[in-house]
Structure 1
Amino acid sequence: MRTLFILTTILLLGLSVQGQNYASSVGLSGGYVEDGFGGNATFNFHMNRYSYIQIGIFASFSNEEYAGSEIPYNVFAFQPGYYRRIAVLNTRNPISFYIGGGAIGGYEIINNGKSELPSGALITARSQFIYGGFAGGEIEFQLKENLSLAIKGQQHYHVNSDIGKMYPFIGGSIRYYLY
């Protein structure tokens, strides 16, 4: 009889608690990059409640001011990475803090692929494939069982970029958990 009472209590308590599915989630973020706007679409595979593997597609659209001309440059990159939760505030809607990093591989387009400016000046930097890594952090605000908002910050390091090796991104994100 005591065992039946304990099992019933666990079952009733378990049904009243909202659990989080840690299988996978998708996210979309937008925000500031150096001299422009950037966005990131991600797929996250949650290995457990503490860590996830993230596969992302990053795009940025920026303009560099040079000698009275605006030179557009864009970055399109693939970003596989790993994030780990370092803290959580257990309020009614949990707030989680994550840090992580990973690799970057993509393409950098300078002045829409043209080497000459309207003034006649030549650009020595060229559009090319780039690679490197990133480190970042996220603060995730759980809204519902399957929906959250996040503030996301990343520092990209492009080993072979002609524009600049360090490239920051900070923005807001919405994440939807899949079942």
Structure 2
Amino acid sequence: MKRKAPPIILIMCLLCTASIFAQRRGNLASSVGVSGGYVEDGFAAMGTFNFHPNRFKYFQISVLAAFAEDRGTQDIPYNVFTIQPGLMYRLYISRIKTFSVHAGGGGLFGYEVINNGSNELPNGAIIDGRSQFIYGAWIGAEAELALGDDFSLLIKANEYYHVNSDVGNFYPYAGVGIRYFLF
């Protein structure tokens, strides 16, 4: 009986191959970033991994964790957790290559938690919405200011469209963070 390699081993082999290929060609790069900022009715944190096949675009996968509270007659807390794969294109780069602007978009999927999973409020009222898996699309822009060879300051603005959300279909994010280039 022949055993198949687990998926994690295959992914690690691909990343190592890309790393060796990038060092040979000098064209490929990868970066990671973290940012924090504002979402509708609260705050959020985002982590990103970018794969740069060339100087003009990069593939991005982000994880967003948002913590908010719908304020009305009764405050209702909610959280949104999403994974967002996408593609970003460079729109502008300064002459000395220290400042650039990128725009792009992609899909998203995740989970929203309304009132910590409870449909009942403290005053006995029942919430019409429910915690559920969500999906949709996003568009965004990033401005990047190089702080050195490996680090850059990042300003992000994304707009999310959640097709089936009970919180709301459109959901903005604006944040500031830092990006580190791996190779």
TM range (shorter): 0.7 to 0.9
User: Runs (4+) of structure 1 moved beyond 2 Å?
Assistant: none
2:126 equivalent among 118, 122, 126: 122
Which residue is 2:86 aligned to?
A: 81
Give, in angstroms, the shift of residue 39 of structure 1: 1.1
Residue in 2 that maps onto 1:40: 46
Distance in 2 (alpha carbons) for counterparts of 1:113 and 1:28: 28
TM-score of the pair, normalised by structure 2: 0.84
Deviation at 1:49, TM superposition (A): 0.9
One of 142, 162, 168 as aligned partner of 2:166: 162
* Structure 2 residue matching 1:60: 3-state secondary structure: strand
In structure 1, what is the Cα distance between the partners aligned to 2:151 and 2:162?
32
Question: Paired residue for 1:57?
Answer: 63
| Paired amino acid for 2:137 | G
The number of equivalent residue pairs is 158
Q: Which runs of 5+ in 1 are unaligned?
A: 1-19
Structure 2 gaps of 5+ residues are 1-25
In structure 2, give the amino acid aligned to 1:84. Answer: Y
Equivalent residue runs for 1:1-179 within 5 Å: 22-67=28-73, 69-91=74-96, 94-179=98-183
TM-score, normalised to structure 1, is 0.85
Q: What is the percentage of aligned positions where both structures have the same residue?
A: 53
- Whichever residue aligns with residue 165 of structure 1, its letter is N
Structure (1 or 2) with the larger CA radius of gyration: 1
User: Which structure has greater strand proportion?
Assistant: 1
Query: Alignment partner of 2:167: what SS?
Result: coil
CA RMSD of aligned residues (A): 1.2
Q: Classify the secondary structure of the residue corresponding to 1:48.
A: coil
